[in-house]
Each structure stands twice: as structure tokens, then as C-alpha cells.
Structure 1
Amino acid sequence: MSRFSELKDLVTSLEADFEKFYEKKNQAAGTRIRKGMQDLKNLAQDIRKEVQDIKNEE
């Protein structure tokens, strides 16, 4: 369940940058969002693999 917490923390950490980018047009925030979304993608892929491995063990 810690992986889920890690996922939530990552999404929450991006919230301020989303506001800065979409409301204030801050370009640096957009760069941070793109990096965060790439990290999110990688984390999601790792979780998918972990779940599949656990399913296959049973």
C-alpha cells in the first residue's frame, strides 16, 4: 500500500505547479509538470509490473 501513498504524494506535489502554469502561465512550472508526469508514468508502470508479478505468484 506504500506504493499507492507514493503515487498520491507525487500527484499532490504537482498541484501547485499546475496552478502556476495554467493560471499564471509560469513556463518553469510547466517544465516541472512535464517532469512530474514522466515520473508518474514510470511509477505507474512499476506498480503495474508489481501487481502482475504478485498475481502470477498465486
Structure 2
Amino acid sequence: MEKFEKLKTLLQTAEKDAAKFYLNGNAAAGTRLRKFMQDTKVLAQDIRNEVSEIKSKS
């Protein structure tokens, strides 16, 4: 559950930069947003692997 909470926090942080990029055209915010999305992808894959591991044990 810890990784899931981290994912939620990451997305909340990314939301601020998404607004800056899409609404104001801030290019630096777009770069940060791309990094957040990559981090989200990696963390989501970690969660998927963890869930599969727990399911296979039961």
C-alpha cells in the first residue's frame, strides 16, 4: 500500500505542472511533467509486479 500512496502523491504533484504546461504554455513545466509521467510509469509497473507476486503466493 505504501507504493500506491507514493503514486497518488506523485500524481498530485504532477497535476500542478500539468496545469502550468497546458494552461500557461510553460515549457519547463512540460519537461517536469514528462519526468513525473516516466516516474509514474516505473512506479505503476513496480506495483503491478508486487500485486502479481502477492497473488501467486496465495
TM-score, normalization by structure 2: 0.95
Structure 2 residue runs without a partner (length 5+): none
For structure 1, list consecutive stretches of 5 or more residues without a partner in the other structure.
Answer: none
**C-alpha separation between the residues in 1 aligned to 2:8 and 2:25?**
25
- Following TM superposition, the consecutive aligned residue runs of length 4 or more in structure 1 with deviations greater than 4 angstroms are none
TM-score, structure 1 normalization: 0.95
Structure 1 equivalent of residue 12 of structure 2: 12
What is the Cα-based RMSD across aligned positions, in Å?
A: 0.6
One-letter amino acid of the structure 2 residue matched with residue 42 of structure 1: V
**Alignment correspondent of 1:51:** 51
Equivalence for 1:38: 38
C-alpha distance in 1, partners of 2:38/2:20?
Answer: 19
